[in-house]
Amino acid sequence: MTITYAQELEQCYAAASRRDEFYVQEDVIYFDGNSLGLLSKRAENSLLAILDSWKTHGIDGWMQGDRPWFNLSEELGASMAPLIGAQPEEVIVTGSTTSNLHQLLATFFKPSKDRTKILADELNFPTDIYAIQSQLKLHGLDPAEHLIRVKSKDGQTLQTEDIIEAMTDDVAIVILSGVLYRSGQVLDMKKVTEAAHARGTLVGFDLCHSIGSIPHSLDDWNVDFAFWCNYKHLNGGPGATGGIYVNRQHFGVSPGLAGWFGSAKDRQFDMEHTFTPAEGAGALQMGTPHLLSSAPLIGSLELMNEVGMEAIRDRSLALTGYLQELIETELADYGFVVTSPKSEVERGGHVFAVHKEAARICKALKANGVIPDYRTPNGIRLAPVALYNTFEEVLETVNILKCIMEEEQYKQFQNKREVVA
């Protein structure tokens, strides 16, 4: 546990580091990029450019200027496609995680006499469960009966075999996360998709914690659809516009929730009351795009594609692996237990450690200049992000944690979460 070793790791995995491109606060270690990524200078510039276009062109900004707004959602989708292994027309930047899941379920969940159930899991982020329950109710189905949740054997991870076993003949759609938001486990999306399709079941993935942190091959895996937010590892800013992927085999399916921005571009301003949908994923758009919430993605995606997901993933795995090792060797005696998978294949972009005093410890970390993420009831998420965090920061964080525990600094705080955890 030496600074020299941390510096050696930094040199080995320097290819993906773009720390100078981000606004990193002096004397602060920001390990919460899996909740909200830091602002990059490119994202700031692209937002200012859209504001300048509004200032300069007014309404004509839709078709004039360096970056006309009318096709921006499609252009951003094309820039995002390489990150998930998709074709440009299969991806659209629109909506939010929750609204996009509602749209996808409204489009693809068509319960029949024999297939009325949706399969999710008990570790899923609550908003996905709320949306699924709402959609079931809209079809007159009781969520208590028609929502199946795969059980976790350890309360932290899921077994692929358990997921497949839960795919009974009455399941119409499977909705799972690419990376579990607590433990950071990467699910075997390829195997899950193959198993679902063998049973005639559609499958969609929530990529909120996986896009920008791990490579994807959605087309090769033949995933039916996916949805995600863009403010975590993609650094799109608070409330950044989300994204939708629709496999091209489903092009032409009528959107469940139609809106005028889902129209074919050349027909949108005909103002006809007969809806003519766009051919690709763009058909699932509804209202006018949120330009100021999309603009930062222009710069952030440029940076992501410049670095490439392979280099980002290599550095991310080295950072999280180093953090896991340090916690297990230096902090185990203080009651910390890492529940994130050790396997690189299964480990996402953050490390999850449990401790009975987790809420207090997170507050003590903040008081010492480290920004973690608390998850009730006893979880600490630490996300060393490849683009802007360093191996020395990993080492320093563990040293700070050790000091917090030795000096019992955490005891000056209440062991309960703040309003926003």
pLDDT above 80 for 419 = no
| Separation CA 253–CA 225 (nearest Å) | 12
| Mean pLDDT, residues 320-348 | 97
Helix H or strand E encompassing 258: none
Tell me what percent of the residues of the chain surpass a pLDDT of 70.
Answer: 100
Q: Is 94 annotated as a binding residue?
A: no
Question: Which pLDDT does position 53 carry in this prediction?
Answer: 98
**Spatial separation of the C-alpha atoms in residues 96 and 240, rounded to whole Å:** 8
Q: Residue 416: pLDDT band by 50, 70, 90 thresholds?
A: confident
Fold equal for 3-30+309-412 and 46-307 = no
How confident is the model over 2-55, as pLDDT tens digits?
899 999 999 999 999 999 999 999 999 999 999 999 999 999 999 999 999 999
**Residues 198 and 161: beta-carbon distance below 8 Å:** no
| Residue 231 among known ligand-binding residues | yes
- Is 260 assigned a ligand-binding role in the annotation? yes
Mean pLDDT on 329-358: 97
Please list, in sequence order, all residues whose beta carbon lies within 8 angstroms of the beta carbon of residue 119, skipping any fewer than 6 positions away.
148, 149, 150, 163, 166, 167, 171, 173, 174, 175, 176, 201
- CA distance linking residue 153 with residue 150, whole number of Å: 10
CA distance 314 to 308: 10
Judged against a pLDDT cut of 80, whether residue 1 lies above it is answered with no
pLDDT tens column, 239-272: 999 999 999 999 999 999 999 999 999 999 999 9
Residue 97 labeled ligand binder: yes
Kindly state the percentage of the chain with pLDDT values over 90: 98
Q: What separation in angstroms does the CA of 169 have from each of 116, 140, 176, 222?
A: 10, 20, 18, 20
Active site residues: 125, 206, 231-232, 381
Q: Compute the distance between CA of residue 100 and CA of residue 97 in angstroms, rounded to an integer.
A: 5
At 205, give phi and psi (nearest 5°).
-125, 140
Question: Positive or negative, the Cα torsion across 267, 272, 278, 284?
Answer: positive
Does 276 carry a binding-site annotation?
A: no
What is the CATH number that goes with domain 46-307? 3.40.640.10
Instruction: Encode pLDDT of 192-238 as tens digits.
Output: 999 999 999 999 999 999 999 999 999 999 999 999 999 999 999 99
**CB-based contacts of 406: which residues, under 8 Å, 6+ apart?**
none
Domain locations along the chain: 3-30+309-412, 46-307
At residue 279, φ and ψ (nearest 5 deg) are: -80, -35
Predicted pLDDT of residue 418: 80
Q: Are 231 and 36 in contact (CB under 8 A)?
A: yes
pTM for the model: 0.97
pLDDT for residue 415 = 82
Phi first, then psi: what are they for 269, rounded to 5°?
-95, 15
pLDDT at 2: 87
| All residues at 6 or more sequence positions from 399 whose CB lies less than 8 Å from its CB, including other chains | none
> Is 241 among the annotated ligand-binding positions?
no
Confidence bin at 421 (pLDDT 50/70/90):
confident
Which two tokens mark 116? 């009325």
Q: Do 247 and 224 form a contact (C-beta atoms < 8 A)? A: yes
CA distances 272 to 220, 269, 276, 286, Å, are 38, 8, 9, 16
How many C-beta neighbours within 10 Å does residue 260 have?
A: 13
Cβ-Cβ contacts under 8 Å for 63 (sequence gap 6 or more): 70
- Parallel, antiparallel, or unpaired for β 117-121 and 147-150? parallel
Mean pLDDT for the stretch of residues 341-366: 97
**128 assigned ligand-binding residue:** yes
Q: Spell 337-363 as b/e; 16+ CB within 10 A means b.
A: ebbbbeeeebbbbbbbbbbebbbbbbb
251 annotated to a ligand binding site: no
Which among 123, 115, 128 is positioned nearest to 171, based on CA atoms? 115
Domain 3-30+309-412 sits in CATH at 3.90.1150.10
Contact 16, 386 (CB under 8 A): yes
